[in-house]
Structure 1
Amino acid sequence: MSVWDGLVGQRHVIATLSAAARGEGMTHAWLFTGPPGSGRSNAAVAFAAALQCLDAGCGHCDECLSVLAGSHPDVTVKRTEKVNISVDDARRWVRDASLLPVRNRWQVIVVEDADRLHERANNALLKAIEEPGHKTVWILCAPQPDDVLPTIRSRSRRVTLATPSPEQVTGFLRERIGVEPGLAAHAARASQGHIGLARALATQEDTRNRRRETVTLPTRLTSLGACMTAAANLVDIANQEAASRTRATVERETADLETLYGEDRRSKASRSYRAAEADLKRNQKAREKRVVLDVVDRSLMDVLSVLRDVLMLQTGAGQPLVNDEQRVALAELARATTPEETLRKVDAVYAAREQMLEFNVPPLLAMESMMVALRVPSRAAR
């Protein structure tokens, strides 16, 4: 057992980080990049544990166990529940990083989703990376190197994670979680190497049902009405999941605020209470918006997997289909359309994704536009 056991298909990364934890090529700033689901955050936390461990990541000492449990005083994982990381958040993190480690090894700051840093937040972080503390280590996680400032990239050592193969994900699900072989293989194929999604598909029936509904969309969009209905249903599902995932946190935060002020203080300091309440609701709304975008984005990746399969059939590429259980319907769509039409649909999905994530277009509007672009031509609908 070691801290690296949870990293699937990342042998080259483990070798690099293990050597650094032992002092070979160690530096104060790291940039972990890789596609969604490749395990960037898991790799960052494992590396943080290895840095605190006297044996470079044994996996069973107090240092390793406390880091992996999220309770180590010198390892902080910074994440945001908002769409973007604000400059105020970044400045707080910089102040935290300036503290000396309690246990006299490293003060490690892991920043998940560094691609969400606001421009001013990037600049605030840059100064801390340019002038790090003697025992401070920054680990930034992002999908691509271009997602962070060039000046931050140039001052960080890059570690690139790969997408695990279906066979590697299947083995992980069977050996570590105990999933039966058929379901493990299906989850590995459907997740396209996304470890977190593979785990959810293997263990949660509602996740499998949601995906099954989504991947049939491209073959069912035979009319304008069907396109509008599909868009509304997809966004409704996202809103419901977001409300479900944030409900407990919202209730706890609201109760904490009321306890903090109490009945008497709320009446005597109503202006202060109202300001705190408004700030809390603003943060809760931003958190729910991010969850909605994440859920819709996950659905878009499922739609892209279908279009990828159609293109494989149209071009005769001979690659295994992600959605092999839909082979008959996909073959019909492939015969009735052209590769050029399929590529235009792929572009439409990416355009919708960009509209939501980059330009703040309401999800329903972006989904309606995309669904119309995905509409099945009349010759395929017959």
Structure 2
Amino acid sequence: MGVFDDLVGQERAAALLSRAASAAAEAVAGGRGAGMTHAWLFTGPPGSGRSAAAKAFAAALLCPDQGCGHCDLCHQVAIGSHPDLESVRPEGLSYSVKQTRELILRAAGAPTLGRWRIVLFEDADRATEAAANALLKAIEEPPPRTVWLLCTPSPDDLVITIRSRCRVVTLATPSTAAVAHVLATRDGVPPDLAEFAARAAQGHIGRARRLALDEEARRRREAVLSIPASLTGVGECVTAAERLVKTAEEEAASATAELNETETAELRKVYGEGSSGKGLNKGLVRGGAGALKELEDKQKSRATRIKRDSLDVALLDLVVFYRDVLAVQLGAYDIELANQDRRADLDRIARASTPEQTLRRVDAIMQCRERLAANVNPQIAVEAMTMALRSPS
């Protein structure tokens, strides 16, 4: 079973990448390697498997058998320990020019094992403008054996000067049946639960896996989808907004608390906390104050990103809910309802409103997403949204 066999519903992309891996092997052997290039851009909707496809391609480039899936090199790529693979995933709100320049320096080295030096940059759309300019220079004049693999939801998320120098690999949204099959066969999820999770996630593989394996994730989804029917007054709108924001904050705190503690303890140890000797501990810790402050800023940015991501998942669940309402209102029986498990709520809201009102509610949710991305106070942005969801105007 090769590395591309794990890509769910991406047969065309897998075929393209497999051909490119063969061309890359030809180039390593001294041939022309037509079809291989030094910069690739993986695009597709959230959950389509952009980073998985990029990692599979990295394994195919580094493996002598173009991604056999079972050799030591493929295993090293899978667990992130291959010396010639640099994986980057911005944890905070953005990726700075300082971080990008450090990354470019690391990428400029010759391959340790003689094939390729690969940089896999997830969420490359989070690079700041200055970082993008630095990245452009690296992609324009790369070392002969360096390959850049960039991942973004859309080509438009990167400046045109970068994407024009990349070969674009477009991933499709996997079908419900394909995702359910993966959950059932690879994760051992019961068929009924696998189908529910795949349908609810609408092709988002990671989200489907969380819904199938994590009862808490299913509970959070239920809480979000109960909101439309609960918005009967101003007080209920405010309460619903508070609950959404508080849940996102709790999730961010839970996801970062242990990691923050470990990072802080390790940094304090590096700067001498706990060392013996008169004046040693105090002096070294004071010398590391700047590093500790930088770490705290990084941790705050990471928590804010997780909070935003958590809120965004909830907002997208609401968008899909109202899309289902619209399908019921228009009698679009050929459209699969993601929220079939809440059919009674869908029917009730569909009868009590018009398609025009449903579309305005979807617009209100999308506007809330835009406001959150623009750093509007989450409580204010979400309250405005819940009020608009209640309003028939």
Task: Report the TM-score when normalising by structure 1.
Answer: 0.96
Report the 3-state secondary structure (helix = DSSP H, G, I; strand = E; otherwise coil) of the residue aligned with 1:374: helix
Query: By how many angstroms is 1:99 displaced?
Result: 0.5
Match of 2:332 in 1: 317
Match of 1:334 in 2: 350
Match of 1:296 in 2: 311
1:286 paired with 2:301, answer: yes
- 248, 258, 273: which one aligns with 1:262: 273
Match of 1:225 in 2: 235
- Output the CA distance in 2 between the equivalents of 1:265 and 1:291: 37
Query: By how many angstroms is 1:332 displaced?
Result: 1.4
| Alignment-mate amino acid for residue 370 of structure 2 | E
The 5 Å alignment of 1:54-69 reads 54-69=64-79
Query: By how many angstroms is 1:182 displaced?
Result: 0.5
| Alignment-mate amino acid for residue 274 of structure 1 | A
Query: By how many angstroms is 1:276 displaced?
Result: 2.2
| Alignment-mate amino acid for residue 360 of structure 2 | R
- Output the CA distance in 1 between the equivalents of 2:189 and 2:241: 33
Deviation digits for residues 306-328 of structure 1 (CA, Å, limit 9, x no counterpart):
10000101111111211112112
Counterparts in 2 of 1:277 and 1:265: CA distance versus 1, 3 Å: farther
Backbone CA RMSD of aligned residues:
1.2
Match of 1:144 in 2: 154
Deviation digits for residues 109-167 of structure 1 (CA, Å, limit 9, x no counterpart):
01000111101110000000000110000010000000001011110000000000000
Q: Runs in 1 of length 4+ with deviation above 3 angstroms? A: 263-266
Question: 2:10, 2:172 within 8 Å by CA — same for their partners in 1?
Answer: yes
The 5 Å alignment of 1:36-115 reads 36-115=46-125
- Output the CA distance in 2 between the equivalents of 1:239 and 1:280: 20
Task: Report the TM-score when normalising by structure 2.
Answer: 0.94
Comparing 323-332 with 108-117, greater Cα deviation is found at 323-332
Identity %: 51
Match of 2:21 in 1: 21
Match of 1:241 in 2: 251
Query: By how many angstroms is 1:7 displaced?
Result: 1.0
- 215, 219, 223: which one aligns with 2:225: 215
Report the 3-state secondary structure (helix = DSSP H, G, I; strand = E; otherwise coil) of the residue aligned with 2:6: coil
Question: 2:93, 2:126 within 8 Å by CA — same for their partners in 1?
Answer: yes
- 109, 118, 133: which one aligns with 1:123: 133
Query: By how many angstroms is 1:270 displaced?
Result: 5.1
| Alignment-mate amino acid for residue 262 of structure 1 | E
Match of 2:28 in 1: none
- Output the CA distance in 1 between the equivalents of 2:14 and 2:260: 38
Match of 1:273 in 2: 288
Deviation digits for residues 165-215 of structure 1 (CA, Å, limit 9, x no counterpart):
000001011111111111000000000000001001111100001101111
Match of 2:145 in 1: 135
The 5 Å alignment of 1:170-209 reads 170-209=180-219
Query: By how many angstroms is 1:271 displaced?
Result: 3.9
- Output the CA distance in 2 between the equivalents of 1:369 and 1:15: 46
Question: 1:218, 1:376 within 8 Å by CA — same for their partners in 2?
Answer: no
Counterparts in 2 of 1:266 and 1:232: CA distance versus 1, 3 Å: farther
Question: 1:266, 1:273 within 8 Å by CA — same for their partners in 2?
Answer: no
Match of 1:355 in 2: 371
Report the 3-state secondary structure (helix = DSSP H, G, I; strand = E; otherwise coil) of the residue aligned with 1:262: coil
| Alignment-mate amino acid for residue 212 of structure 1 | E
Report the 3-state secondary structure (helix = DSSP H, G, I; strand = E; otherwise coil) of the residue aligned with 1:341: helix
- Output the CA distance in 2 between the equivalents of 1:265 and 1:192: 57
Identify unmatched segments of 5+ residues in structure 1. none
Counterparts in 2 of 1:169 and 1:202: CA distance versus 1, 3 Å: same
Deviation digits for residues 75-107 of structure 1 (CA, Å, limit 9, x no counterpart):
111111110111111111111111000001000
Report the 3-state secondary structure (helix = DSSP H, G, I; strand = E; otherwise coil) of the residue aligned with 2:143: coil
Query: By how many angstroms is 1:305 displaced?
Result: 1.0
- Output the CA distance in 1 between the equivalents of 2:292 and 2:124: 28
- Output the CA distance in 1 between the equivalents of 2:377 and 2:52: 31
